Structure 1
Amino acid sequence: MSHPTAPPATSRATLRRIAGLALPALVVLAAEPVYVLVDTAVVGHLGRVPLAALAVGGTVLTLIAWLGTVMAYGTTGRAARRYGAGDRAAAVAEGVQASWLAFTVGVAVALGMQVVAGPLARTLAGGGTEVADAAAQWMRIAALGAPGLLLAAAGNGWMRGVQETRRPVVYVLAANVLSAMLCPVLVYPVGLGLPGSAIANVVAQSLGGLLFARALLVERAALRPDPSVIRRQLAVSRDLLMRGAAFQICFLSATGVAARFGAASVAAHQIAVQLFFFTALALDAVAIAAQSLVGAALGGGDADGARWLARRIALLGVACGLVFAVLIAVGSGVVPGWFSPDPAVRDQAMLAWPWFVAMQPLAGVVFALDGVLIGAGDVRYLRNLTLVATLGGFLPAIWAAYALDLGLGGIWAGLVLMVVIRLVGLLLRTRSGRWAVVGAVR
């Protein structure tokens, strides 16, 4: 495959333009994980059981948030192609229909969690009644924020597609700053304990959803649901949903295995996995820029420009991953103590830490190229690759860690294996060039 210089049509999409999309996306993506890290630190000082309960309940909330991310990605790709073809109104219309879909799914999740929270918590907690009961109570409350959470995800999706960067940052920061201030107040002075954390989640997510719904009103777009467009969005999202489901099965299983190694192990896993989600979403800021710019380039008929962008974005992913690896390695003796005063929890966290550091440069490339292929609409390939990496790599590895009593280190070795499998598959696909199909909608 040749490596041409940037063609005239994409010479404007320089590193400055990529950064102009990636940096605001970083703020938006990092806001929720930062809040969760604050939440983890606040709850961690309540004791080992509340932190373990948050680990169980937080894993389920992360599943809901990941569902929103999947929906946002599908919306970004379709909106970006329409925007690149010169039809901004059609791109916003994609956001309207995505918002209807998000709200409907969010209400279903909020209602369903009232029924399944107890059995789900007992399953994930490995039979520990005290942890399971606390986790179930937290999940029932936190799930009430699902409609707002998914509405905000849909709003982020269409705004990224039309390369709108300012309003999403304002909306997300407003909601999460308020909630981060509310969480410690509700947990300690008000005396609600662990449920106070869940209430703060609901406040942030509901406010965020309302702000993004208002953005559609400002656009003066037609707000009537269009079942035909929603069906097409569902068809596009199907592969992304399957991909997201595979990830979530694996992460839920990882929490279940960690719980079976004891409360200290699952508490340490909560610290490490939330830091992983933070770095993953921060690296994903580069992927967001890829989705928007690659989608717009292909929508405008510029396949050479899209391939040029793919190479530049992959290099940026490597650089970001290396920076995270250094920071995480330097902080190994300090960071776990921010989240728990328990020496057993900190010792368990150290078992995951070397694997956490090693995966960062690899993950930087993986997330960047994920964004390229999502922007191109090449989601079927991503689905198949993810199924191989998760169900054929990560899932067997973590249950082998349980069977062989490898502890938390074995779980995180399985996560690195998944990243390596995805990296190989993404490099092969990107090099082939078969993903660069032009047109307003793929």
Structure 2
Amino acid sequence: MVFAIALPMTLAFLTTPLLGLVDTAVVGRLGDAALIGGLAVGAMLFDIVFTAFNFLRSSTTGLAAQAMGREDWVEQQAIFWRALITSAVVGALVVVASPVLIWAGLIFMSPGENVGAAAQTYLAIRVLSAPVALANYVVLGFVLGQGRSGLGLLLQTVIYGTNIVLSILFGLYLGWGLPGVAWATVISEIIGCAAGLLIVISGFRAVARPAWSKILDAAALKRLLSLNTDIMIRSLGLMFAFVWFTRLGAALGELQLAANAILMNVFMVASYYLDGLANAAEQIVGRAVGANHRPAFIRAIKLTTLWSFVCAGVTTLLFLVFGDRVITMLTTVPEVRELASVYLPWAALTALTGALAFEMDGVFIGATWSRDMRNMMLIVLPFFVLAAHFLGQAFGNHGLWAALNIFLAGRGVFLMIVLPRRTRETFVACHAGSERLA
């Protein structure tokens, strides 16, 4: 059951870093390191905003899975409509506030003049996709909560497959460059949103249709708001860590920033690869909590943790062996290739150091233990900020990558420490001997 859910979503999530690889390759072949840096900064700032609202996917997955475990079909539909309404409001606000957000983000990142101009061009176009991109989070979260990972794979393939094709067409063949890459994203998000809403809504059963009073129930909205706020804080903390890493890397120069941008695609491949198993944990754990079935909960943790580390080990090994070839495909700039090869082992290691963090995220999202995710992030993040600063000063880019690996490992360990206590508190009936946590 774990791989029946995880494999389709692993393939689905791999389309995201694949898109990043294609976008970087398209811009990298323009022969300008400033454009590579501009894409990296622009994509990072865009991800800050959108990762902050990733709760739309995470909370929808956990709540839908728990409702499914209780066999509450009316509440499942109500969860979908609450989240979709939220995504529409938030998406519209992001578009309206985009000039201020872009201005503030570029001031914080402090890129060079050429990099900043490229990033602003990219962001001004891509932000137009905000409402549909957030709606896609809701659709994906809902189908994952239902265990329909095959449909999730289909929808992600539609979005990112279209994006990849259009990025190559607009960016290279039509000669639009970086703006073409941004427009490709906007159009693909619209197409994916239309397909997702059509499939999900057409599958709703009329007998389980919730009344508006059910959708707008005060207690349910309060729980959703609390859950979303906690996950948003956690997600902002996570993105701040990557922004801080990018900002300190930018201070080392354009070439160093471009090399790190190439290597972050290596990390993203590993992260989305592990997200497939984390999503299996979300769905199975959510059902177990909804049904108050502790044995299924424990088994899900054991299986997904084991396979997370196995897959992470394989991913690290593959990048250590073939990483230089990947770098060569992503950029034609010799200096960027050389620098990226130097720091490749650090990037490859992120799969192993981040494996437990991804796994625990899946467990805590499925169980809707959002407060613990928030608290652990607020504990670990200050240590990373300080470590990146001082290690970066002492050892340059090697220090930055070392600090990033420490941060990833620390998140997983701190969540694992909290896990036994939260398990005891959540399940009202348990059989302590044979089912205790390993």
Q: TM-score, normalising length from structure 1?
A: 0.90
1:111 maps to a residue whose letter is V
Aligned to 1:129: 113
Q: Matches of 1:75 and 1:34 in 2, distance apart?
A: 25
1:28 maps to a residue whose letter is A
Whether 2:198 is the aligned partner of 1:211: answer: no
Q: CA deviation at 1:395?
A: 1.3
Q: CA deviation at 1:383?
A: 1.4
Q: Matches of 1:400 and 1:117 in 2, distance apart?
A: 28
Answer whether contact 2:61 2:144 (CA < 8 A) is retained: yes
SS of 2:141 mapped into structure 1: helix
Distance 1:436 1:375, change over 3 A: farther
Q: CA deviation at 1:106?
A: 1.6
Q: CA deviation at 1:205?
A: 1.5
Q: CA deviation at 1:301?
A: 1.5
- Cα RMSD (Å): 2.0
Mean Cα deviation higher: 200-209 or 429-438: 429-438
Whether 2:163 is the aligned partner of 1:179: answer: yes
Q: CA deviation at 1:68?
A: 4.4
SS of 2:54 mapped into structure 1: helix
Aligned to 1:276: 267
Aligned to 2:398: 409
* Pairing partner for 1:226 from 199, 216, 219: 216
Aligned to 1:79: 64
Whether 2:179 is the aligned partner of 1:195: answer: yes
Aligned to 2:432: none
Q: CA deviation at 1:438?
A: 4.1
Q: Matches of 1:95 and 1:113 in 2, distance apart?
A: 26
- State how 1:89-168 maps to structure 2 within 5 Å: 89-126=74-111, 128-168=112-152
- State how 1:9-408 maps to structure 2 within 5 Å: 17-46=1-30, 47-126=32-111, 128-218=112-202, 219=204, 221=209, 226=216, 228=218, 229-392=220-383, 394-404=384-394, 406-408=395-397
SS of 1:334 mapped into structure 2: helix
SS of 1:35 mapped into structure 2: helix
Q: Matches of 2:127 and 2:287 in 1, distance apart?
A: 35
Q: Matches of 1:411 and 1:37 in 2, distance apart?
A: 22
Q: Matches of 1:345 and 1:73 in 2, distance apart?
A: 36
Mean Cα deviation higher: 348-357 or 17-26: 348-357
Q: Matches of 1:314 and 1:198 in 2, distance apart?
A: 36
Q: Matches of 1:275 and 1:153 in 2, distance apart?
A: 23
Q: CA deviation at 1:227?
A: 6.6
Q: Matches of 2:343 and 2:98 in 1, distance apart?
A: 31
Q: CA deviation at 1:26?
A: 1.4
SS of 1:188 mapped into structure 2: helix
Q: CA deviation at 1:402?
A: 4.3
Distance 1:118 1:382, change over 3 A: closer
Q: How far does the alpha carbon of each residue in 1:221-245 deviate from its partner, in whole angstroms, 9 at most, with x for none?
A: 4595627344421111111111111
Answer whether contact 1:385 1:422 (CA < 8 A) is retained: yes
Distance 1:305 1:188, change over 3 A: closer
Q: Matches of 1:275 and 1:436 in 2, distance apart?
A: 38
Distance 1:382 1:179, change over 3 A: same
Answer whether contact 1:122 1:129 (CA < 8 A) is retained: no
Answer whether contact 1:96 1:223 (CA < 8 A) is retained: no
Q: CA deviation at 1:62?
A: 2.1
Distance 1:83 1:179, change over 3 A: same
Answer whether contact 1:283 1:320 (CA < 8 A) is retained: yes
Q: Matches of 1:152 and 1:211 in 2, distance apart?
A: 10
SS of 1:434 mapped into structure 2: helix
Q: CA deviation at 1:298?
A: 1.4
Answer whether contact 2:74 2:210 (CA < 8 A) is retained: no
Answer whether contact 2:55 2:232 (CA < 8 A) is retained: yes
2:83 maps to a residue whose letter is A
Distance 1:140 1:227, change over 3 A: farther
1:77 maps to a residue whose letter is G
Answer whether contact 2:67 2:75 (CA < 8 A) is retained: yes
Q: CA deviation at 1:428?
A: 2.2
Answer whether contact 1:307 1:436 (CA < 8 A) is retained: no
Q: CA deviation at 1:122?
A: 4.3
Q: Matches of 1:175 and 1:379 in 2, distance apart?
A: 28
Percent sequence identity is: 25
Q: CA deviation at 1:365?
A: 2.4
Answer whether contact 1:300 1:438 (CA < 8 A) is retained: no
1:217 maps to a residue whose letter is I
Q: How far does the alpha carbon of each residue in 1:110-129 deviate from its partner, in whole angstroms, 9 at most, with x for none?
A: 22223332442243143x11
Q: TM-score, normalising length from structure 2?
A: 0.90
Mean Cα deviation higher: 426-435 or 293-302: 426-435
